[in-house]
C-alpha cells in the first residue's frame, strides 16, 4: 500500500518523510492555506524535501484551471502532480494534463460513476472524499470506497483510490479490501507509530543488550 503525507509544512515534511514510508506529499487548499505563503514559493521549498508532490488546483473555467496547473507543474515537472476537482471543466483539464505528460489525480469524486469518467479522462488516482459522502447521507464512506475499488478490480483499471486513513482500523480495513493508496495527516502517523507493545518488548531486552555490549 502506498502512503502519502498530508501536509504542506516543511518542518513536518522533513521530520516525517524521514520515516521512509511515504511516497511523497499530498495537499488540499486547506492544508496549503495554513502555511500563509505564496504557493509557488512554498512548493519550491517542499520539492527539496519530497520526491513527489500533489497540489490541488481550484475549480473554475478550463483556461483558469489549466493556467494554475501549468504554473505549479513548472516548479518541477518531474515531481509536481496535480489534483483536479472532478467538475466538467476539471475532466477536460485531466485530459489535457495527461496528454502533455503531467500526472493528474481526480479529487472530490463522491460516486463510482464519476470515478469512471475521471479514469476515462486520464486520471491515475482518485480521491473519493469519503467523509463528504457520509456526511451528505449518500452512503457510508466505506461502502462507496469499496464500490469504487470493486469496479477498479472488475474492470482491471490502471488507477488507484487514494483515501484518507484517519486511524489504524481504516488502514487495515482498506488494505484488506484492495485499496492501494491513502493519505495520512501528521498527527495520525505519529499515533500509528506509537506502539506500546513494541516499546515494551524493546525495554525487556535492555538488560540483555547491555550484557552483550560488555563483551564488545
| Rounded mean pLDDT, 196-212 | 86
Among 41, 54, 40, 75, CA closest to 7: 54
pLDDT category of residue 129 using cuts at 50, 70 and 90: confident
Q: Which of 49, 83, 141, 213 is catalytic?
A: 83
The mean pLDDT of 151-160, rounded to a whole number, is 98
- Told to judge if 83 belongs to the known catalytic residues of this protein, a careful annotator would answer yes
Backbone angles phi, psi at 36, to 5 degrees: 50, 55
Q: Give mean pLDDT, residues 197-213.
A: 87
Whether pLDDT at 99 is above 90? yes
Share of the chain above pLDDT 70, in %: 97
What integer pLDDT is reported at residue 139 of this predicted model? 67
Q: ∠ CA 6-7-11 to the nearest 5 degrees?
A: 140
pLDDT of 136: 72
Q: What is the pLDDT of residues 30-74, one digit of tens each?
A: 999 999 999 999 999 999 999 999 999 999 999 999 999 999 999
Please report the pLDDT score of residue 138 as a whole number: 67
pLDDT of res. 58: 98
State the DSSP H helix or E strand holding residue 130, giving kind and residue range, or none if neither. Answer: helix 130-135
Whole-number Cα distances in Å, 14 to 9, 69, 80, 86: 9, 25, 17, 31
The residues pairing with 40 across neighbouring beta strands, listed in sequence order, are none
Q: Which residue has the higher pLDDT, 96 or 192?
A: 96
Q: What is the CATH number of domain 2-213?
A: 3.20.20.70
Amino acid at each position: 500500500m502506498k502512503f502519502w503525507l498530508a501536509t504542506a509544512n516543511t518542518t513536518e515534511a522533513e521530520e516525517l518523510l524521514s520515516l521512509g514510508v511515504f511516497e511523497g506529499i499530498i495537499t488540499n487548499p486547506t492544508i496549503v492555506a495554513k502555511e500563509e505563503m505564496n504557493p509557488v514559493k512554498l512548493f519550491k521549498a517542499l520539492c527539496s524535501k519530497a520526491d513527489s508532490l500533489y497540489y490541488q488546483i481550484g475549480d473554475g473555467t478550463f483556461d483558469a484551471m489549466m493556467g494554475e496547473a501549468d504554473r505549479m507543474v513548472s516548479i518541477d515537472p518531474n515531481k509536481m502532480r496535480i489534483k483536479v476537482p472532478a467538475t466538467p471543466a476539471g475532466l477536460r483539464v485531466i485530459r489535457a494534463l495527461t496528454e502533455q505528460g503531467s500526472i493528474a489525480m481526480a479529487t472530490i469524486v463522491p460516486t463510482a460513476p464519476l470515478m469512471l469518467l475521471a479514469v476515462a479522462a486520464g486520471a491515475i488516482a482518485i480521491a473519493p472524499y469519503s467523509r463528504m459522502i457520509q456526511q451528505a447521507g449518500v452512503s457510508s464512506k466505506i461502502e462507496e470506497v469499496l464500490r469504487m475499488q470493486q469496479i477498479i478490480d472488475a474492470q482491471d483499471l490502471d488507477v488507484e483510490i487514494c483515501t484518507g486513513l484517519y486511524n489504524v482500523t481504516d488502514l487495515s480495513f482498506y488494505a484488506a479490501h484492495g485499496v492501494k493508496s491513502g493519505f495520512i495527516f501528521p498527527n495520525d502517523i505519529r499515533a500509528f507509530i506509537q506502539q506500546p507493545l513494541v516499546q515494551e518488548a524493546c525495554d525487556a531486552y535492555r538488560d540483555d543488550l547491555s550484557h552483550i555490549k560488555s563483551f564488545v
